[in-house]
Structure 1
């Protein structure tokens, strides 16, 4: 057992190691391991060899190798350190309970992190029909916003037709990366800087390509509620939800649980798709949500001679935006029109979002532009408690 020095009484070199460890973040919680109480202590011998004790939350922690490697690299970067020994163990139940308290802070255990007073901007992405590319749009916006430095979470609320794990590169050879469970705390995997949760992560060893989820309304509602209450996203700037197509149970549950959410409607240029897309927006309004924009996908396919082949017609996005605009609800803008792109599709199938991998692709470029528009809008703070007080300076 290493006799670790307390940080407050550490030597100069040990203090340097502690400061280096402050830069090591837990890859799932995205907070320094020193803030989370994961570092038991630090000692440096006369030869400059540092010994660092790190406690993981659970045995078999999926982030264990990365945490150990990052800890070793940070330790070796400290001035005066000539070598590093990293001693890894697992937290005791008491230490794990303290860890979950540190993560949750003052928030209650079974309360949604994204209630009416939350500072997180919640965006639900919906469509009337399936197959319009809603999930690809959601993934692209999430990763593009994260690339701009925002803290982003993504909930795959399409329980029956979940595809987010695959599009985010979290599915490999029929296995989906699973969240880490620390007692009753669920920590979502992180991909491309985005914290992601999906029902596909809770199927055990089942191949999601060969597994179907068949639930009735109450079970669907409890699933969405658990995602909002038990999955710990931390402090997010933006939370996106990929909703199933149509106006069914999940859309109603999201409206009840997140009445302050804004809604983005995805449609294709085809008039038939536009008609159904309007209905999904109307259901969102019935639950009090605000429709903040329309995105037209599959707008056209560029040809070698420079012309554009409109496979799905034209004008559907503008049609939806015009029908949803009114004196009562204001103008609903058409945020953008995304062209068809074979490279964009292939990049998504490979789990590498094109907005990151192929920024010059026409579809990726348009989605990056739309993400820029959303990021520039910021978060509405009217009526939100900011945790500050005014003092009379007299």
Structure 2
């Protein structure tokens, strides 16, 4: 007798403590390659109402970046099938802007200083025990680039460039695993569409299409091996300015005659803008894909990524936890070993070659549905360290 396809879907496994009330309030050192380090004051209340969470973050003075975030997460709208997420953010950050392409040099970058603020919200429909998910989200805000530095910290330009942004995302995810936070067996796949419509004629309208599939296989009594395959493709809907002379006029940094460093920075800004208008932009590198490399280290019109991770569970029994500043139910203590490869290219035909490697190990703890994480990764450009909260156990879900 042939079984129907739905009968092969793993039964949902309940993670003890994942729906229990939890809290965290303390300074939390954070480090992101290519951005820097800081100490955010992190406030978190999980599962305070029907699985909803409240999150607040404010960095302490003296760090490499300044962020303020307030979020209401997974708040049910009449029923747990419809979930709302909304929040506000404000940030001041200097980040490394690398030259495009997989063969760009690690020292070939400039450092724009950006101020941004805005709000975001999304609605999700979840059904069939959270196996089916449809989502739509919206971002709105404004920002300005106030300064540009070279890789050595020298000021190249202090021309202020102001922008406004409004973006949306929509997509789906089908989760045929045994558990949506820490899956042990099954498959998960989905797509996310990010149409970026410019408010000016200079910049192209580009839709970014992300596709992802994950496989999970159980090992021993409670361990897991996870496979992740991801592509991100740019689709040009309306071409913006592709003429260099026009782009240079718009993006002029008012460099003084003979100021070679400023001219180099202006050349990079112009080249990046023209490349985006012709090919779009997506990136690899940072806390979740190619973890050994800086945030957005490799950029081009398209990207391809694959990774495998072995997750060794020391303890997956629910243990009550109350240390004052942190409380809830600790339901997982895990060590992971991972190997990743990825590449970027403006030509889709080149997405299977010239892969950059990243490999390492990490430690994670799951407390009342939130994950606390430390990763150490080695690549062609040295060691990358990530220290963060709220790590997606499913290797960056398509809906994030």
* Normalised TM-score (structure 2): 0.22
Structure with the higher helix share, 1 or 2: 1
* Rg larger for: 1
* Normalised TM-score (structure 1): 0.22
Structure with the higher strand share, 1 or 2: 2
